[in-house]
Structure 1
Amino acid sequence: MADKQPPSAPAVEPAAPSAVHGASLLIALQIASRAATFIANQLLLRFLTAQLLGVATQLEVYYLSVLFFARESLRVAIQRQGGREQPQEETSKGSKKGSKGEKESDTSSSSASSSQSAVNLAYVSILLGSLVAMLLGWLYLASIHKTSDEDGSNNHDHPARSLAETTPFLVPSLYLYALTSVIELLSEPAFVVLQLRLQFGARAAAESVATVLRCATTLGAAVLATRLGGSSNRGLDIGVLPFALGQLAYGVGLLAVYAWHGAALARRDGFSLFPKRLTGQYALQLFDRPTLHLASSMSVQSIVKHVLTQGDTFLVSALSTTTTQGVYALANNYGGLAARLLFQPIEESSRSYFSRLLAEDGNATEKTENKDAKGRKKAGNASAERAARDLQTLLKIYLLLSLVVTAIGPAAAAPFLGLVTGPRWANSGAAATLAAYVWYIPLLAVNGVAEAFVASVATEAQVYRQSMWMGGFSAVFAGAGYVCLRVLDGGAVGLVAANGINMVCRIIWCLVFIHGYFSARGVSFFGDATTSLMPHPLSVLAAVVTSTAVRRFVPVVAAAAGPVAQITQLIKIAVLAVPFVLTV
């Protein structure tokens, strides 16, 4: 924001390098934190059954749902607010009225007011989160106390029992997840200000500390439980309690680090991390009216988006057993590893980048309103052309990565899973699900960056129309899921197929929107799609040849084969992949 640059510097100049630096930092953070989480999870798998992993996935969805409904739409709206306010600060700095000291004071005051407005809005997230945590917690409690027959048999000697009865410490774990969601939301006032100021280092420190605490606590609880069992080989059965304790440690770590950095920034720039009344056109003298209105209009879209994002978990919970849910969760965790490591940080940074870049585009058009039409069009299209080039670059890189993933990923799924999880999980059907998920990763990547662009530039009316379309796509997803899971009995693989159908629908809608957006500004986004976006024909041919060679020359080893055979198979696949990667 403006306080990070000298008063004479244009506010929009650091947007691109700051966003690139932020994306790089977040990617590095994600790699480190996910590596730690990955190692911890591999150790935890030795203590888990498929059913416990399925229940842990349900609790995680509950936790993520509380956070998503409470803060997602407000976060996006606050970022959009930050993008709009930059040109105002620049105009203030460019004014010829008053002395240089007066202009610096106005800029500082505007920056503090903007930060305080964002802090006040963050407390709406805390209130919403508390209410949503109670509501969703009550619904989940009602569902886990219903009796069910896990294996599908009607055995009178072993009557069906509820999930709460078959899973130790499930209810206390649910309460801990609810408490943790509120604790994490308490860090939101500091987070939104640090995000607006592009303080990515504070976020990296917070998530690193929190991740280490979560891994250490989860593993420590699981190992301690095995030792408390005395002579029992299985130890003390504490169910999913280690996950709940680990998540609590994560929330406390986030709050502590964000509060530390946020308090330092507040002291320096003269705002408060607590709600504070503001002068001007603010609702209840606290909340920025346009931002609050935009957030409320985006809330419906956020609900639909979350249902679509977590819809696979909701659907598999309704149509399958917790054991099947655990198998799908395992494949989903490994299959989505690339998305969490690489795609998610790029998506978040690109959303912030495009918001600032194209907000400046609109401001440039306003500043030239007294010039001729040709001058206005030239000023208005400059940033749009740059945004189109950057978005094309991202999409083409994603498509090239998709070639590599889909050419060698399916064959490597089984030996990889058998190596890291052991034969018990490899025999569960997770390997076939992971191989199918590989084909879903490219759709996930393209959709992520496309929806990030739409969120950056869409008007309230366009957001509403998107919500309506997303509602239709959710119905398509539910229908596809029912056919794949119940009619075709496709299991977790069928669920991946249903997700793919849904994701294709969302991508098509976003591409149509993007084409219309740039066309309205006289910029051709797609142009010659063959040369601008699609990979070179030789790269596609190399992918087909490599995939065929892997299937023909690399024998499939049994799931119960030892680690030597699995490592050998992975090495053979890697050797065949080297010339392909060089060709691409």
Structure 2
Amino acid sequence: MSPPPKPQEASSPPQSASMIKGASLLIILQLASRLITFVANQLLLRYLTAPLLGLSTQLEVYYLSVLFFARESLRVAIQRQGSVGSTTKGSDAARVESQAVVNLGYLAIALGSVVSLVLGWMYLAFPSGAAVSTPYLVESLYLYGLAAMVELLSEPCFVLMQMRLQFGTRAAAESIATFLRCIVVFGSAVWASTQQTDIGVLPFALGQMTYGASLLLVYLISGYQLASKIGFSILPKAVSTKDGRFWGSYFDRQTMSLAGSMMAQSVVKHLLTQGDTFLVSLLATAEVQGAYALANNYGGLLARLLFQPVEESSRSYFSRLLLSPTAGDGEKQSSKPSPAVNEAKQNLGTLLRLYILLSSIIINIGPFAAPPLLAIVAGKRWIGSGAGDVLAAYCFYIPFLALNGLTESFVASVATEAEVHQQSGWMGAFSVAFAASAFLFMWVFPLGAIGLVLANIINMACRIVWSGAFIKRYFKKHGVDFEIKTLLPEGSVTFSLATAILLKQLKVLDSAEDQPIKSLIKVAASAVPLLLLILFFERRFILECLHSIRGRKAAKQ
């Protein structure tokens, strides 16, 4: 087996700037769509009970599971095969590569049709008590499955846009789809309330169907325009080459091999990611499920809004910068690091330090601000359900969630097939640790949803340690020393701890339910000095980040 080739010498400044611009565009437009969703959810909470919210979360997990198992490993593998929009390729090569990517996208549709049927049957075969008594449950499940398949129909065009760095298309599609979903969900819920009709979770199912159809329409329009311009088809079409690269003249052998290797890891990873919902449905009442679902929705808002676009853009960026093969024997590379490796180390270190800096603020302010904020936006009824305490605990989980997402994005960008198999084995071990922790905290020590948050923290901590060790080995193999201790902000942790102690002494949470505004004022007053101190002690690092962004913009111009 041949050793992995060295990473390419460097990414061009325009490419780096394109990645930054793409991530920024995704963040800005997703911010707008998330704000719309947030407002709609606040209005919707007035018409929901905790058991209904918990049941809607179960159906959403079914929907996300179909999408994840059908497309995640293919998406990662396709990103690893390189950009199809390079100006160094001729028009014929660009046409072949574009058609190859489109063909691979149709595999997700085939996989999704099987997964949706299997998971749907399993859900109906083992329903929970709350699910049995909910009206229109079966119809809602069918709509969720159909919505997943409709969204998967857009996958060929999606992977094409992703490979050509067309971030604007994705941002527009998701923004339009999110806006229309909010209208349908809220409108149908209000209609049912005015008609005094109990339709269960049917509004969520109708909204998800609208979301999938909107995505499909936008991607089909963009994909058809691009296909007409370059000269390929958005339908499956045979690709002829002399090197036997394609299986059956349709699918890239190397990409399919890597996707197959990642499939087992994807299953374990998804079970770990959505395992909290599975376990809370088994070990908790419907009311506890609803409280956890609300805390998860609010607590995960920052992760979905900011961290997810950064992680996806980083995965694309590092995949191209450190273009790796799908297999290798891990032999030691040249002792002299390439410019691309140095650039990767610098950018990864910067992102990790920014994440840690932001995390120090979240774990300091979040637990004290969460209960009064929830009392304002969701009402005191939800505070009484325990959702405020769960959301406060969730704030400690967010930093682990963010760091794990970024480190695993880097691993997915550069890992060989052998390393992917190794990671899958460790993922299995971490899943056992997660299940044991959840059982301990939720059953032996009945902490309810808070216990599930603690189990999630243990799970993420294990995965971060493994990814961190992998990153150190990777850079050491390429002649670069990646020091974890250099990522720690100067003094930020100390000031965060001091501020948290101050807020505890002020007994902010004692008046969170009755006087939420007063509690938030206390939190804000203590947060201002903390932010000023962090800006002062981290001024050099922040200025370096700003100069780096300006330099890339100038290079692009």
Q: Give me the TM-score of the superposition, normalised by structure 1.
A: 0.86
Cα root mean square deviation, aligned: 1.8
C-alpha separation in 1, matches of 2:517 and 2:238: 62
Could you tell me which residue of structure 2 aligns to residue 331 of structure 1?
295
The match for 2:369 among 390, 412, 415 is 412
Q: What's the CA shift for 1:412?
A: 1.0
Could you tell me which residue of structure 1 aligns to residue 390 of structure 2?
433
Q: What's the CA shift for 1:557?
A: 4.3
SS of the equivalent of 1:310 reads helix
Distance 1:401 1:349, change over 3 A: same
Could you tell me which residue of structure 1 aligns to residue 22 of structure 2?
22
C-alpha separation in 2, matches of 1:33 and 1:560: 29
C-alpha separation in 2, matches of 1:583 and 1:202: 40
Letter in 2 for 1:351: R
CA-to-aligned-CA distance 1:492-536 (integer Å, 9 cap, x gap): 00000000111110000001100000000110111xx44x21111
Identity rate, percent: 55
SS of the equivalent of 2:63 reads helix
C-alpha separation in 2, matches of 1:505 and 1:250: 35
Q: Are 1:474 and 2:424 counterparts?
A: no
Could you tell me which residue of structure 2 aligns to residue 223 of structure 1?
190
Q: Is the Cα contact below 8 Å between 2:150 and 2:216 reproduced in 1?
A: yes
C-alpha separation in 1, matches of 2:288 and 2:506: 32
Within a 5 Å distance, the mapping from 1:514-529 to structure 2 comes to 514-526=471-483, 529=484
Could you tell me which residue of structure 2 aligns to residue 445 of structure 1?
402
Structure with the bigger RCO (C-alpha within 8 Å, sep 6+) is: 2
Name whichever of 410-419 and 182-191 sits farther off. Answer: 410-419
Structure 2 gaps, min length 5: 1-9, 326-331, 535-557
Distance 1:26 1:13, change over 3 A: same
Q: Are 1:262 and 2:262 counterparts?
A: no
SS of the equivalent of 1:82 reads coil
Could you tell me which residue of structure 2 aligns to residue 276 of structure 1?
237
Q: What's the CA shift for 1:417?
A: 0.9
Could you tell me which residue of structure 2 aligns to residue 139 of structure 1?
122
SS of the equivalent of 1:524 reads coil
Q: Is the Cα contact below 8 Å between 1:120 and 1:287 reproduced in 2?
A: yes
Q: Is the Cα contact below 8 Å between 1:554 and 1:572 reproduced in 2?
A: no
Could you tell me which residue of structure 2 aligns to residue 52 of structure 1?
52
C-alpha separation in 2, matches of 1:249 and 1:451: 32
Could you tell me which residue of structure 1 aligns to residue 165 of structure 2?
198
Could you tell me which residue of structure 2 aligns to residue 392 of structure 1?
349
The match for 1:459 among 388, 406, 416 is 416
Q: Is the Cα contact below 8 Å between 1:381 and 1:523 reproduced in 2?
A: no
Letter in 2 for 1:321: T
Within a 5 Å distance, the mapping from 1:75-474 to structure 2 comes to 75-82=75-82, 93=88, 107-144=90-127, 148=129, 163-164=131-132, 166-228=133-195, 235-280=196-241, 281=244, 282-359=246-323, 378=336, 381-474=338-431
Structure 1 gaps, min length 5: 1-9, 94-105, 149-161, 229-234, 363-372
C-alpha separation in 2, matches of 1:470 and 1:142: 28
SS of the equivalent of 2:463 reads helix
Q: What's the CA shift for 1:295?
A: 0.4
Could you tell me which residue of structure 2 aligns to residue 99 of structure 1?
none
SS of the equivalent of 2:82 reads helix
The match for 1:571 among 516, 521, 541 is 521
SS of the equivalent of 1:353 reads helix
Q: What's the CA shift for 1:560?
A: 4.8
Letter in 2 for 1:260: I
C-alpha separation in 1, matches of 2:524 and 2:100: 53
The match for 1:535 among 489, 496, 505 is 489
Whichever of the two has the greater Rg, that structure is: 1
Could you tell me which residue of structure 1 aligns to residue 329 of structure 2?
none
C-alpha separation in 2, matches of 1:81 and 1:180: 29
SS of the equivalent of 2:376 reads helix
C-alpha separation in 2, matches of 1:326 and 1:580: 34
Q: Is the Cα contact below 8 Å between 1:423 and 1:559 reproduced in 2?
A: no
CA-to-aligned-CA distance 1:81-111 (integer Å, 9 cap, x gap): 125x78xx78xx5xxxxxxxxxxxx611111
Letter in 2 for 1:15: Q
SS of the equivalent of 2:347 reads helix
Letter in 1 for 2:116: A
CA-to-aligned-CA distance 1:279-332 (integer Å, 9 cap, x gap): 122111100000011101100011011001101011111111222111101111
CA-to-aligned-CA distance 1:10-42 (integer Å, 9 cap, x gap): 984432111100110111122111111111111
Letter in 1 for 2:210: A
C-alpha separation in 2, matches of 1:11 and 1:545: 42
Q: What's the CA shift for 1:219?
A: 0.5
Letter in 1 for 2:385: S
C-alpha separation in 1, matches of 2:286 and 2:59: 12
C-alpha separation in 2, matches of 1:443 and 1:556: 24
Q: Is the Cα contact below 8 Å between 2:37 and 2:178 reproduced in 1?
A: yes
C-alpha separation in 2, matches of 1:138 and 1:185: 19
Q: What's the CA shift for 1:381?
A: 2.0
C-alpha separation in 2, matches of 1:48 and 1:68: 28
Letter in 2 for 1:519: K
SS of the equivalent of 1:348 reads helix
Q: What's the CA shift for 1:50?
A: 0.5
Q: Is the Cα contact below 8 Å between 2:74 and 2:256 reproduced in 1?
A: yes
SS of the equivalent of 1:204 reads helix
Letter in 2 for 1:480: S
C-alpha separation in 2, matches of 1:181 and 1:550: 45
SS of the equivalent of 2:48 reads coil
Q: Is the Cα contact below 8 Å between 1:554 and 1:573 reproduced in 2?
A: no
Q: What's the CA shift for 1:185?
A: 0.2
SS of the equivalent of 2:205 reads helix
Q: Is the Cα contact below 8 Å between 2:287 and 2:385 reproduced in 1?
A: no
Q: What's the CA shift for 1:558?
A: 4.7
Q: Is the Cα contact below 8 Å between 2:411 and 2:467 reproduced in 1?
A: yes
Q: Give me the TM-score of the superposition, normalised by structure 2.
A: 0.90
C-alpha separation in 1, matches of 2:494 and 2:432: 37
Q: Is the Cα contact below 8 Å between 2:95 and 2:230 reproduced in 1?
A: yes
Q: What's the CA shift for 1:553?
A: 2.2
Letter in 1 for 2:274: Q
Q: Is the Cα contact below 8 Å between 1:31 and 1:341 reproduced in 2?
A: yes
SS of the equivalent of 1:441 reads helix
